[in-house]
Amino acid sequence: MKKEPVDFLSRYFVTIFRERIRTVLDSDHPVRKLVYLCSGLLLLNGFLFVFSVKDIWRVPTADRYEKPSLLYGVNSDGNYEPIAEFYRFSRIVLTDADLPGGWDNKVIRCFESTEDNNFRSHRGLDIRGILRATMVNLIAGRVKEGASTITQQVARLKFLNTERSFLRKAREAWLAMLLEATFDKKTLMQIYLNEIPLGHGTIGAGAAARFYFRKDIKDLSWGEAALLASLTTRPKEFSPLANPITSEGKVRVVFKKLVENGILDVKTAEKEFDAFSEYYITLNRSPNDSAFSDRLNRFPYFTEYVRKNLARIIPKTQLYEGGLKIYTTLNIQHQTQAEKALAAGLKQQTLLSNQRAFTKIDAFEDAYGDIYEILAGLHDIPEFKFKISRSFRTFNRAWQEDLRDELSVLNLISGTEGLGEVVDWSYKTQATEDHLLPVEGALISLRPETGYITAMVGGSGFRSDNQQIRAFQAYRQPGSAFKPLVYASAMEYYHENPDPKKNVTAASLFDDSPLQYVLEDGDEWNPTNYSGEYSGFIRLRQALELSRNSVAVRLLEHTGLNNLLPNLERLLQVENRNLPRDFSIALGSFEVSPYELARAYAVFASGGKRVFPLSVLYVEDDKGNLLKDFRKDNEKKERKQLVSPEVSYVITSMMEDVIKKGTGTGARSYGLTRPAAGKTGTTNNFRDAWFAGYTPELVGVVWVGYDIGTLSLGKGMSGAVVAAPIWGRFMANALSKEKSKPFAFGDPKIVRRTICSISGKLPGSHCHQTEEEVFDKETVPTEVCDDHRGLTEPAPLPQPKPTSPKKKKPNLFEGDEDVIR
């Protein structure tokens, strides 16, 4: 309840009044003293309880409204476009242009007829109406009729509460007179139409017209305008969605008043009412519908992420009511394609993974139902019950798994349109097919140069039961998608500490063979390759292409765990979490979110510089004044060189081969032709599937898995099979309108050398398999391959000596081939 404190000026007037009373009491006439005293006390009470000096400044602000804040994204033309709005209640502020016809406007006439017939003639208070309402209420013995004018209702809606008391009515009357002195009648009507609550979360006639009829207020018929006017007293009771019969009766009353006031004749009123009655026949909406569901919110996962972050900086009142303009980094083309790619991938994967929800929910009741009743009686345990009956559960399961498909086929052969619509509706409204647990996922993309987050999807669909923003909140093991960070950290360590024994290049040779470690607690750890196969000695580039786990562990062992971790921590930029100090980190045992992995990969794409992701550029108030500029804050941050441009170049080159001929070839399945680098990731038992990668223009990360971390996507459901195609589809379509360009890392000290494909050394005279490799200028190998000495190229096979042609006969079985006798 609103409470108004006594202001300083009121206290000042009380002091003056007290002095005047003292003067009167000094009079020689006792009767006059008494009359003056009683009159003064009455005036003082009225002054203190009704009048407030603050009203003089508050009343002129009555034509200011709560305005929704708009969220903007960037479209394909580079222009800002609204993508969402924040508000507590749905409101569309009406102006003169929205109410054509002046006082003859249908909506205005309907509200005048139901609320205040004398609105245009009185000065805030309708004395006749007050007297009439008083008599009606006295006769009825209860409050049956109100006497508030539209101006009084404006005063209550803008400045007071709904408390039923004489004090509130007195304040309402005082404020109404001030409003009449400040605004003209037309403005007061607009304020009323913009402030009146009309049910289901709508404030004002404009929002109600959009919610109930999906129309602008200027396009309403007489019946539709009458329905809005019928909702002023008790919107819940007279809602056409909740109580259509009661609503129709109330609309009939509004039409009667229009006839009584001479606005419509009987014939026209009957015709308009009959035409509007069709609205109730065709009405098919839930009584729980709310105008909030009509809120502009094209990309809810991104909107919710921005809302949560802004709520920490901007007061919620200002965020929901201040009419702010929030300009974000979201690219509408990228976001649209991200949602399409992930939704299609998750739907298909749900069917493939086929992890079923628990359906035998009657098992407990069958086995322990009787015992549970006894225990419940002894120990006061709540009753064991389901929200729906067993018969309904049984029918629903049978309908979805058996009956529906058969009925759908029969209906196609000889069914009716109505039955077909029921079956189609059943398919569309079912959250998961045949009790399958939904596979979830996340996708996030950002610009490597600016850190602008261009797309972000947090799951399979933003619903009341699925609002987790997994791009930021799903911490899972990245598997082999972590290896490029390990490789880069090892290369960067040599770059900072040039020890020949620690030199690591894309051509370095490592042993790809089984490993076995004994841990401190006595357990054994045997890291194995995904395929279970080993290649012997293999170059680091090939090891990344084929995602060899044993090589990643041996590389970590070669560089040293303590030497590698500082560089890894810098790349990940993780705060308040420590990386595990064991060799399993080489295989991605440290849990990260898709956002964190994208931020780390963005370092490579930007030539080794630190990237600060950004989702909101700047915020303006309702007058266009700059409220907060996040771009300036971002520009002040120092973009340190986390790895050298040379290391970024080499790692990018290696990951390009992953997509061209390694485990990431699935990323090309949707027509991605521009330069791209990336790495797949799969965790134990196929629980998580990852693909992280980038083009010169964009960094993107895809994660797919179950929310329950122990569930498997199924045998063979690796990052290469599950996540890479989603990533490739998104990248190809998101960047379809942007020109392709090559990777650019400034002017790195990179040299190209021909090496022996087998040993990784400079080729010797006996090396017959060679290829070109890229090196940091300081890491070019100097050793010449001597591994193949004594081996020569295999001599050509001897050709058979020519022989005289032999006699041939037709092949009866092959037709045109010859048979040698």
Q: How far is CA 561 from CA 481, 583, 669, in A?
A: 19, 7, 37
- Residue among 157, 261, 145, 253 nearest 205 (CA): 157
Task: Count CA atoms closer than 13 A to 274's CA, side-chain side.
Answer: 6
Per the CB < 8 A criterion, the answer to whether 86 and 306 are in contact is no
Kindly give the residue spans of alpha helices, DSSP state H, lying in 121-232: 127-140, 150-159, 166-182, 185-195, 205-213, 222-230
Buried b (16+ CB within 10 A) or exposed e, 80-91: beebbbbbebbb
Identify the residue whose tokens are 């006792």: 30
Instruction: Check 69, 113, 115, 773 and give the catalytic one.
Output: 115
Identity of residue 177: M
**∠ Cα 379 381 382 (to 5°):** 160
Q: Which helix (H) or strand (E) holds 440?
A: strand 440-446
Q: How far apart are CA 230 and CA 219, in angstroms?
A: 18
- Residue among 751, 783, 743, 758 nearest 659 (CA): 743
Q: Give the CA radius of gyration of the chain.
A: 39
Task: Count CA atoms closer than 13 A to 545's CA, side-chain side.
Answer: 17
Mention every residue, 6+ apart, whose C-beta is less than 8 A from residue 486. Answer: 552, 555, 556, 564, 568, 585, 586
Per the CB < 8 A criterion, the answer to whether 442 and 470 are in contact is yes
Other CB atoms closer than 10 Å to residue 408's CB: what's the count? Answer: 16
DSSP-assigned letters across all residues of 309-347: HHTTTS-HHHHHHB--EEEEEEEHHHHHHHHHHHHHHHH
Q: How far apart are CA 452 and CA 606, in angstroms?
A: 13
- Residue among 561, 551, 559, 552 nearest 513 (CA): 551
Region of 649 please: left (phi>0), alpha (psi -120 to 50) or beta: alpha
Q: How far apart are CA 33 and CA 27, in angstroms?
A: 7
Per the CB < 8 A criterion, the answer to whether 71 and 303 are in contact is yes
Q: How far apart are CA 478 and CA 424, in angstroms?
A: 39
Instruction: Check 480, 489, 508, 547 and give the catalytic one.
Output: 480
Q: How far apart are CA 668 and CA 287, in angstroms?
A: 49
Q: What's the farthest any 2 CA atoms get from each other in the chain?
A: 161
Is the torsion defined by CA of 747, 697, 591, 546 positive or negative? negative
Active site residue 365: no
Mention every residue, 6+ apart, whose C-beta is less than 8 A from residue 369. Answer: 384
Q: How far apart are CA 444 and CA 700, in angstroms?
A: 6
Identify the residue whose tokens are 């003169």: 96
**∠ Cα 703 708 712 (to 5°):** 70
Q: How far apart are CA 764 and CA 785, in angstroms?
A: 5
Is the torsion defined by CA of 87, 88, 92, 95 positive or negative? negative
Q: Which residues pair with 691 in a beta bridge?
A: 680, 702
Active site residue 286: no
Region of 746 please: left (phi>0), alpha (psi -120 to 50) or beta: left
- Residue among 421, 362, 350 nearest 396 (CA): 362
User: For the chain, first and last CA: distance in Å?
Assistant: 112
Per the CB < 8 A criterion, the answer to whether 734 and 76 are in contact is no
Q: What residues are labeled active site?
A: 115, 480
